[in-house]
Structure 1
Amino acid sequence: MLESTLDIGTAAQILKLLGDKTRLTMVKILDHHDCCVCEFVGIFNMSQPAISQHLRKLKDAGVVGETRRGQWIFYSLNKNSEYYQLVQNLLSHLPSQDDKLAQLEEQGLRITCE
């Protein structure tokens, strides 16, 4: 049972945000792994500005958060978000995306940005 309910408009905005395949995949990966922009660039074979734009939208909505570690910014799922339960419920129906990180590692492109 949800502790609080979202209004239909807010739920629709979050679902629309996650309706993008790239953003949905990012959120699924962030469900289990913190990642930096450079890792997503390798996973999605997209430009850094395009990845940053997706992450900015997710961050602005409160779905993901960021943590600075030295010069690097790592993104993670925002477990304190009022949308977390909705997002978590949705993610529970999706297959793991860990293979994308494994492929990045195999190619020697998984960056530890530390």
Structure 2
Amino acid sequence: MNNSIEIEAAAALLKLLGDKTRLSMVKMLDTNDYCVCEFVEIFKMSQPAISQHIRKLKDAGLVQETRRGQWIIYSLNKENVYYPFVHSLLLHLPSQDFKLKELEEQGLRISCD
């Protein structure tokens, strides 16, 4: 089976992931699901800025959302046709799980209001 993707699609994905915040988000979402407010806390950015990053990732089909009560939880869409390509890139990056651990230690895991 051929797992190659078009150069244009690869270039668009690499451009999308060329942003450090989005790349970090995707790496984090590969192992855990997150709420916007958790990203706000982790990246020390405004909620609209985080939402903008997530929207771009959602538009590319890399991120999906699930409603859990009052919260919208984001996860990586591992069914996406480009996931194998993205995942192969993520394998070369250091784990970002420590960021979640720091959030939990601060008692800020899901602190949405």
Task: Normalising by structure 1, report the TM-score.
Answer: 0.93
1:112 is displaced (CA, Å) by: 6.8
Counterpart of 1:39 in structure 2 is 38
Structure 2 residue 51 is matched with structure 1 residue 59: no
Q: What number of residue pairs does the alignment pair up?
A: 112
Unaligned 5+ segments in structure 1 are: none
Distance across 2 between alignment mates of 1:78 and 1:112: 23
Distance across 2 between alignment mates of 1:112 and 1:31: 21
1:111 is displaced (CA, Å) by: 1.5
Distance across 2 between alignment mates of 1:34 and 1:67: 10
Distance across 2 between alignment mates of 1:5 and 1:49: 35
Q: Secondary structure, in 3 states, of the residue corresponding to 1:101?
A: helix
Task: Normalising by structure 2, report the TM-score.
Answer: 0.94
Distance across 1 between alignment mates of 2:24 and 2:82: 17
1:51 is displaced (CA, Å) by: 0.3
Deviation string 1:54-90 (CA, Å, 9 cap, x unpaired) is 0000000001111111221111110110110011000
Greater CA deviation, 103-112 or 57-66? 103-112
Counterpart of 1:49 in structure 2 is 48
Identity across matched positions, percent? 71
Counterpart of 1:14 in structure 2 is 13
Distance across 1 between alignment mates of 2:19 and 2:49: 13
Counterpart of 2:107 in structure 1 is 108
